[in-house]
Structure 1
């Protein structure tokens, strides 16, 4: 979209994190906003902050996994503002833990929030988007929509599917004035990791050097809308992942296998330290010249 000032945008997941940052960046560009989230107090704060830029902003508490709420949101927006120019599908949740231990209802919630909600909301607003001379859909995905990581299988599946959906929309409607962009940030300084539904084991914090700021993500997102970028990779880590998956997808399997081997060796060493007789038996099995097992120190992260 060549000019954002005076346009209307719907931003989901706008109470905090990436959604809030994108909403405020759009407000600074003169875009009036419809803000959606389940967190009503956080949503109200985003509305107040957006209005300081001199634009109109609506806060609409809504559960996008509820079909009735989603349909009411789309109908109300069409009645109030006769549609939108920009749709930002940002709302998302994560689950972290062994896939076999994941409850079916947790898997349903991840897919409903990360995939079904943006697909249904886009479908409901698509006629209004196509009625505009130019319009745009920004789907906030993840580098885990390009690659994979253990213990987040359903999350990865939801983001891979959303990227595929976005690509298909762009091809189908690109000549009718609808731009579609996928935003694929890597590690961002948000509460998503802390809030990840877990089986009891906390998610490891990524190294600080790998994280990017919300301002940087929001700037890249809005620039992607303005320039109608097919895909926006925010950070060097994400670009490395995309390039590696294109050139050598098997590399990630090899890297994960190395990590599993290291963890198994550490467990053996810890057991040997607690029970010397076990260490003796292991050394006999490995060969008398095998050195004593040693625990590898954990890598320090910021």
Structure 2
């Protein structure tokens, strides 16, 4: 995208973390903003900060797990401003715990917000994006969308799908002026894990080491550069890029590491018993 100033951008999950940082960076670049979030108090604060940068901003409460609310927000945006130039699918939640301990409602909620909502927003906004001389879709994925990680199966599933969706859209619409980026940061200093539901086998929420965490502002700066440069897949931190390279060129090393870690930790007391083991126990 040659210019962001004067363009219209929709950002989901804009009240905190990466979404808030991206919204403020886009405001600094001169974009007018349509911000969605489920937290009305934090959203109002983000709207105020963005307006202080001298751009038009509309904030709207939206639960992205509810398709009707998404359609209503899109309709309101089109009524207000007639279209959108930049779509940032940022909102996301996670779950930490063993897959067999994860309830169906947690799967449904996570996939609704992390995957179904971006699909719906893209589907409903593609006509207006295609009507622009240039437009961009930024899907905030994760290194977990490129490399499978333990105990975040649902999150990883949603992010792998989001990366695949981004690649497909890029292949399909690049000649029609739509840039598409899958932004894949490593660990970021947000409340993603702190606020996550967890399995019954987990005593407390996972807190990554602080030295591994990037700031939301660092990710936002890279996101805006990706929009300008129309980058495809963007992996941000050095350790995340190294992990991705190992996955691509020596996937057996990651698999070996996972198997050795499991052996070092000893037998899994939470392992699901096989049917024959249950019969013997009886």
TM beyond 0.5: yes
- CA 1:266 to 1:107, structure 2 compared with 1: closer, same or farther past 3 Å? closer
Contact 1:146 1:241 (C-alpha < 8 Å) held by counterparts: no
* Residue 260 (structure 1) aligned to one of 251, 255, 262: 262
Q: Secondary structure at the match of 1:188?
A: coil
Q: For residues 90 and 268 of structure 2, what CA distance do their matches in structure 1 show?
A: 39
Distance 2:211 2:50 in 1: 30
Does 2:66 correspond to 1:79? no
> Residues of 2 paired with 1:193 and 1:244: CA distance?
25
- TM-score, scaled to structure 2: 0.92
Provide the residue aligned with 1:292 in structure 2: none
Higher Rg of the two aligned structures:
1
Q: How does 1:23-42 map to 2 (within 5 A)?
A: 23-42=23-42
CA distance, structure 2, for counterparts of residue 227 and residue 66 of structure 1:
33
1:234 matches 2:236: yes
Partner of 2:100: 100
Tell whether 2:17 aligns with 1:14: no
Greater mean alpha carbon deviation, residues 221-230 or residues 247-256? 247-256
Is structure 2 residue 213 aligned with structure 1 residue 208? Answer: no
User: C-alpha deviations, 1:196-252, integer Å up to 9, x for none?
Assistant: 110242343222222111111000000000110011111101111110111011222
Aligned equivalents of 1:188 and 1:49: distance in 2? 21
Contact 1:95 1:106 in 2 (8 A): yes
Structure 2: stretches of 5+ with no match in the other structure: 270-282
The 8 Å contact of residues 95 and 155 in structure 2, kept in 1 or not, is answered as yes
Aligned residues, how many?
267
Deviation track 1:72-103 (CA, whole Å, cap 9, x = no partner) reads: 11111111111100000000000111111111
Distance 1:93 1:266, change over 3 A: closer
Q: Name 1:293's counterpart in structure 2.
A: none
8 Å CA contact 2:96–2:206 kept in 1: the answer is no
Partner of 2:128: 128
Does the CA-based 8 Å contact 2:63-2:69 persist in structure 1?
Answer: yes
> Does the CA contact (< 8 Å) of 1:13 and 1:91 recur in 2?
yes
Instruction: Find runs of 4+ consecutive structure 1 residues off by over 6 angstroms.
Output: none
What are the superposed Cα offsets for residues 92-135 of structure 1, whole Å, 9 maximum, x if unpaired? Answer: 00011111111111101111111110001110000000000000
Cα shift at 1:266 = 11
Q: Distance in 2 between matches of 1:116 and 1:204?
A: 26
SS at match of 1:105: helix
Q: Quick one: distance in 1 between partners of 2:104 and 2:75?
A: 31
Q: CA deviation at 1:173?
A: 0.4
Given that residues 143 and 238 in structure 1 are in contact (C-alpha distance below 8 angstroms), is that contact kept between their aligned partners in structure 2? yes
